[in-house]
Structure 1
Amino acid sequence: MGEPVNPDITAVQLPEVPNGAGATIQTPERADLRPEHINDAVIRLAGNSQDGIQSAGAFLARLAGRSDQDVMTYMTIPSTISGGPSIFQVRIGTGEVLSAGDEADFLVAFYQHSYQDHLSFLKEGGVLLYDSDNVEPDLDDKRFVYLGVPITGLTVEALGGTAKDKGKNMFVLGLIAKIFHLDVDKLKKLIGEKFAGKDESIVNTALMGFQAGYNYPVGNFISTVYKFEHVEKKPGAPDQITMDGNQALAYGLLAGGVRYGAGYPITPWSSVMEILRSELPKYGGLFVQSEDELAAVSTALGFSLAGYLPVTGSAGPGISLKTEAIGWASMAEMPIIIINVQRGGPSTGLPTNVEQSDLHQAIFGGHGDSPRVVLAAKTVEDCFYIAVEAAGIARKYSTPVFILSDTSLATRIEAFDEPKLEELMQNPHPDLTTRPDSFKPYDLNRITQHVPPGVRLMDGKYPLVTGLEHDEMGHPTGSPKLHMAMTAKRRTKLQKLAEELPVPKV
């Protein structure tokens, strides 16, 4: 974050001066304070999950995206319903940002445990902003710059006693906006968009908390404030969009022509489901919240049977429960997308922690010889495009396709170029074209294409769809020779897919 701030300067609150009427006034802010221009900063907010630090951090990340800056975030949340210690880290840069950062330039500590647990992540010369109502730092440690602000008390003063636990995040957002010379108008617009549709008093309370923090005279207590270098947008450059990995997956599915799906809530998959529940009806579709995981995948397969490409998803424990029905999809050669937003395991494991340990489950998680396609996203941007790719593969090869993401990608916010949707959008409608004479849905000499109910077959012979091994018309068979031929057929089509894939760049 530029040159280190002088670690010998410790910011201590100046005394407030009585104004003669019993109230107190703050000394005016220094007029000679000029911002230091920086290219990159890592800001870590440390508190409890109930403090709304994820919302404050998300505002910073989305502001960066709208300002044509690069951004990447990292967050942790407790797995207990009652909440607990949590962080949100955002890295903003005027150049390419490839990680959320190992060390923080700027640490906000809401509580004593936040200070104690995260001071080791603060760079030497970095700034510690702490709530002086709750935190007592070791001011003899001259490695850092200390900025103590009575955040809790000033939030209560600005918003009233009932808002102290719900407005501190907005007060801190205002402080950060002041220290880093952020675009206040854009931030206020983001706040308004976040709470759009809610009672007007909620928006006003959030804006009041933000303005109170922004008005605090931080310039009296630190020797340096900061300003990100201006990013000149190149002529013809695309606009940026800012979202997290789960949002990218959901909107990628929409671009891929997915209009139906079913799921059951589980961390960290749930927000994909919530977005689809909201967005799919706008496109004439439907997302069903089922009573359990088996019902969810079975409902999704019902949509597939009707001729539509569906999606279902979960985390590792839920995928385990879906396994039998996914095997049915492999045998019946039904197109379906299965998303696994991975978390720590086995069993209930670590519901809110990062772990990429379900690859074996995705590739081999089923009985019998049932090869499947497995795609894994590497970035938030990749989450969008890999969902579009999965839709194309599932349709073309009439097969289940797994998408692997993880908790880190699910919650990480990044900015990337707006996709060219007119080039990506796929047809969501089922293929209802008439099938010619002698049509065989499971023809051994071609790739299966599922025939939705209602399609006219000229020879009048309608196929069956079953999880039993079958002949070329879908009728059950116990023939070892035919079983070997069908098994080879299901494997061969994925070998053809492998031949079409480009060689990975190393």
Structure 2
Amino acid sequence: MINQLSWKVGGQQGEGIESTGEIFSIALNRLGYYLYGYRHFSSRIKGGHTNNKIRVSTTQTLSVSDDLDILVAFDQETIDVNYKELHDKGIIIADAKFNPQRPEDTNAKLYAVPFTDIATELGTSLMKNMVAVGASCAVLNLDIEVFKDVVQEIFGRKGEQVVQKNMDAIKAGYDYMKEELGDQVGAMQLEKGDGKKRLFMIGNDAIALGALAGGCRFMAAYPITPASEIMEYLIKKLPTVGGTVIQTEDEIAACTMAIGANYGGIRAMTASAGPGLSLKMEAIGLAGITETPVVIVDTQRGGPSTGLPTKQEQSDLMAMIYGTHGEIPKIVMAPSTVEEAFYDAAEAFNLAEEYQCPVILLTDLQLSLGKQTVEPLDYSKVEIRRGKLVTEDLPATDSYFKRYEVTEDGISPRVIPGMKGGIHHVTGVEHDETGKPSESAANRIAQMDKRMRKIKNVRFKTPVHKNVKHEQADLLIVGFNSTRGVIEEAMTRLEQDGIKVNHAHVRLIHPFPTNEMLPLIQSAKKVVVVENNATGQLANIMKMNVGHIDKIKSILKYDGNPFLPHEIHSQCKELF
């Protein structure tokens, strides 16, 4: 028996590849296994190679694996593109329809299974993916009955006959592959899962759910990969609690609508990817100078311009911190797991209102669209904190309300439109304490200092996720967003090589957590920063905030693919 499995299904986009992986992984999740999935797909609706790689384990896993145990192929391209990931005892299960050929430079065994023909005999070739699932079950010696509830949930609305046909397809695939395997049935049988119920979700769904739990009642957005699922989730859920989603004509409208809703006292958000954030920048500056709370999600992808819209990258850090013209207070958060994405999304609304500034929740494609097993969420951890929002009518007065009053902590009292005694100006030009436009040099200095002062002491529960095993380390590995799991796996291997390794994952990008990071950097002989971009943006931010320029090195990857454990392990080892 084995304690983890790496399984991948591939074919042409639109062929049911995603649903194949979905059905396979949901069933295994319900058996109590931990899963981590990553989809490789093309930036088109139909056609082009796509695959879904799923890691199944009896213990928590937060990264894809280096190698591959089983490759399920619906075309020859899938074999040609992915076979090098297979280890020597790996298996290729391919549709016999395309006369699959095994490359000469692999020892993996090829089994040609007539997915399409079996499915067609049962009623429709569309069920070939279910035949493939059944064939995989034979290799794992997995009882196909575990798929019954999943199939019922997915196809139940189409009638019991459709449900039964799909189960028949799974059984037919299982029986055919069982005969082909002979005494090798269960050759990759997994140790039993613990049977505990856990969630299995993508980061975008966790963000949307976190926003809902955090009191968000309005979202304005324009569809864009890889952020669209946030809007799609909230379109279904917000109306159930009296909220709404508006699909706007463009990204500029989306951001300004969200700002307007927040000004009106409603917790509101918008979400996009790099190109959309570029369009939102002027509006983000408006939120900064008017000190209006707003939550903005940036799901990073390959750039610049349209770039690689369906591929992994982490190249928006500098833009998110410094992208607006002029200088405004801003908070940039970076969850590293799907679970953190939920809690951070809820907390973003608190920070936005407490510090009265834009809060950017930064993710990347791997975190936004990759699926992870998540422990049951604890809703009691979610707080609603509205900062200095005035909730009672103010005394009648002939004077304007000092909405931008200069205070010691930089945060002014805030009112919503229509409040008695709360009348004030709101403008995007520099203004005095009541919001009235002012070009006075003394006023400019006072208002700028006030705005920037407010984020000097941002209270964030875990600005850095620390895995610190040594008081004095040979190496400190630093990362952010989705690289957490792959770094920790590489860390384990480096420890086995006799290298003392600590790990710091930055969860608050701006304002940078210097006090938390500096001791870790000082106590390490070498520091390496792992990031999916070409210029080492996080490394440069660290150098600006903590110094130690000569000590900090980078491991960079910007080909559109996520890091694999062996890449970080080998490159770190080269430092010694």
Which band: TM-score by shorter chain? 0.7 to 0.9
Contact 1:258 1:428 in 2 (8 A): no
Residue 310 (structure 1) aligned to one of 243, 246, 268: 268
Q: CA deviation at 1:243?
A: 0.3
Contact 2:141 2:185 in 1 (8 A): no
Residue 128 of structure 2 corresponds to which residue in structure 1?
168
| Residue 240 of structure 1 pairs with residue 202 of structure 2 | no
Residue 213 of structure 2 corresponds to which residue in structure 1?
255
Residue 254 of structure 2 corresponds to which residue in structure 1?
296
Distance in 1 (CA, whole Å) between partners of 2:241 and 2:76 is 49
Residue 116 of structure 2 corresponds to which residue in structure 1?
152
Instruction: Read off the aligned partner of 2:23 and give its amino acid letter.
Output: F
Distance 1:404 1:199, change over 3 A: farther
| Residue 53 of structure 1 pairs with residue 17 of structure 2 | yes
Distance 1:393 1:330, change over 3 A: same
Q: CA deviation at 1:66?
A: 2.2
SS at match of 1:473: coil
Q: CA deviation at 1:217?
A: 4.6
Contact 2:13 2:50 in 1 (8 A): yes
In the TM superposition, 1:26-425 aligns within 5 A as 37-138=1-102, 143-159=107-123, 163-164=124-125, 166-195=126-155, 197=157, 203=163, 205-222=165-182, 223-225=184-186, 226-232=188-194, 239-424=197-382
Residue 32 of structure 1 corresponds to which residue in structure 2?
none
Distance 1:437 1:487, change over 3 A: farther
Distance in 1 (CA, whole Å) between partners of 2:428 and 2:163 is 53
| Residue 483 of structure 1 pairs with residue 440 of structure 2 | no
Q: Deviations over 1:215-250 (max 9, x none)?
A: 4352443524143212346xxxx8421101111111
Contact 2:390 2:413 in 1 (8 A): no
The number of aligned residues is 459
Q: Deviations over 1:234-292 (max 9, x none)?
A: xxxx8421101111111111121111110001111111110011111111101111111
Distance in 2 (CA, whole Å) between partners of 1:157 and 1:239 is 36
Distance in 2 (CA, whole Å) between partners of 1:503 and 1:118 is 36
Q: Deviations over 1:87-141 (max 9, x none)?
A: 1000000023232111101111111111112111111111111111113324876
What is the RMSD computed on CA atoms of the aligned residues?
A: 2.4
TM-score by length of 1: 0.85
In the TM superposition, 1:424-503 aligns within 5 A as 424=382, 426=384, 432-435=391-394, 440-445=402-407, 446-457=410-421, 462-497=423-458
Contact 1:61 1:413 in 2 (8 A): no
Residue 495 of structure 2 corresponds to which residue in structure 1?
none
Distance in 2 (CA, whole Å) between partners of 1:499 and 1:259 is 23
Q: CA deviation at 1:499?
A: 8.6
Distance in 2 (CA, whole Å) between partners of 1:411 and 1:503 is 23
Instruction: Read off the aligned partner of 1:480 and give its amino acid letter.
Output: A
SS at match of 2:458: helix
Instruction: Read off the aligned partner of 1:362 and give its amino acid letter.
Output: M
Distance 1:407 1:502, change over 3 A: closer
Distance in 2 (CA, whole Å) between partners of 1:340 and 1:370 is 18
Distance in 1 (CA, whole Å) between partners of 2:101 and 2:56 is 27
Instruction: Read off the aligned partner of 1:469 and give its amino acid letter.
Output: E
Distance in 2 (CA, whole Å) between partners of 1:276 and 1:141 is 48
Query: Which structure carries more relative contact order (alpha carbon 8 Å, separation 6+)?
Result: 1
Distance in 2 (CA, whole Å) between partners of 1:275 and 1:183 is 33
SS at match of 1:102: coil
Contact 2:396 2:420 in 1 (8 A): no
Distance in 2 (CA, whole Å) between partners of 1:232 and 1:75 is 26
Contact 2:220 2:270 in 1 (8 A): yes
Structure 2 gaps of 5+ residues are 467-503, 505-576
Contact 2:133 2:170 in 1 (8 A): yes
When structure 1 is superposed on structure 2, of 192-201 and 414-423 the one drifting more is 192-201
Distance in 1 (CA, whole Å) between partners of 2:362 and 2:20 is 28
Contact 2:33 2:194 in 1 (8 A): no
Q: Deviations over 1:182-219 (max 9, x none)?
A: 35344221222234555666545544433432343524
Larger radius of gyration, structure 1 or 2?
Answer: 1
Contact 1:115 1:135 in 2 (8 A): no
Distance 1:493 1:167, change over 3 A: same
Instruction: Read off the aligned partner of 1:118 and give its amino acid letter.
Output: N
SS at match of 2:97: coil
SS at match of 1:494: coil
Q: CA deviation at 1:50?
A: 1.5
TM-score by length of 2: 0.75
Distance in 2 (CA, whole Å) between partners of 1:492 and 1:198 is 59
